[in-house]
């Protein structure tokens, strides 16, 4: 199962990166009618959520700055942002580094039972599956927002 999950992470993250590379600033930070956030937020949200689910950010993983929870965590929105916000280039680099770390996860990790279920997931493997669904969902949002913003 773990090999399949790793292949799916590679496929999904690669497609995600292809979709976001080279987005112009006016598209990146636009919030089209009917959408709750911007593409910039979606990118940071996917990065942050994956880090939370797969690496225990911010308590166990220090691979992302602590302020990402306040910028991109569940329930946040760009209109509330203050302070430094990472650039698209920074987020892309962090997504690439995250993929490398995901591919290095030992297969046994996916069998570990979670202390408490997370959104119906009982093992790290089930949580990985949810994480992949989450990323694909936001990829679809980004794709739609890009089309509307052009």
The pLDDT tens digits for 115-143 are: 999 999 999 999 999 999 999 999 999 99
Assigned fold of 2-149: 1.20.120
pTM of the model: 0.95
Question: What are the domain boundaries of the chain?
Answer: 2-149
Smallest CA-to-CA distance from 49 within 121, 148, 143 is with 121
Q: Is 81 in contact with 128 (CB distance < 8 Å)?
A: no
Q: What is the pLDDT of residues 47-90, one digit of tens each?
A: 999 999 999 977 788 899 999 999 999 999 999 998 899 999 99
Q: Is 138 in contact with 45 (CB distance < 8 Å)?
A: yes
d(CA 13, CA 42): 13
């Amino acid at each position: 199962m773990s090999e399949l999950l790793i292949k799916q992470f590679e496929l999904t993250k690669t497609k995600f990166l292809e979709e976001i590379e080279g987005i112009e600033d006016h598209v990146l930070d636009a919030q089209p009618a009917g959408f709750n956030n911007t593409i910039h937020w979606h990118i940071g949200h996917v990065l942050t959520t994956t880090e939370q689910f797969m690496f225990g950010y911010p308590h166990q993983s220090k691979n992302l700055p602590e302020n990402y929870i306040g910028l991109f965590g569940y329930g946040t929105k760009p209109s509330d942002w203050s302070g430094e916000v990472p650039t698209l280039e920074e987020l892309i680099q962090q997504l690439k580094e995250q993929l490398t770390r995901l591919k290095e996860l030992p297969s046994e990790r996916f069998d570990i039972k979670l202390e408490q279920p997370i959104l119906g997931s009982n093992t790290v493997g089930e949580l990985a599956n949810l994480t992949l669904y989450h990323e694909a969902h936001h990829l679809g949002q980004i794709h739609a927002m890009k089309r509307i913003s052009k």
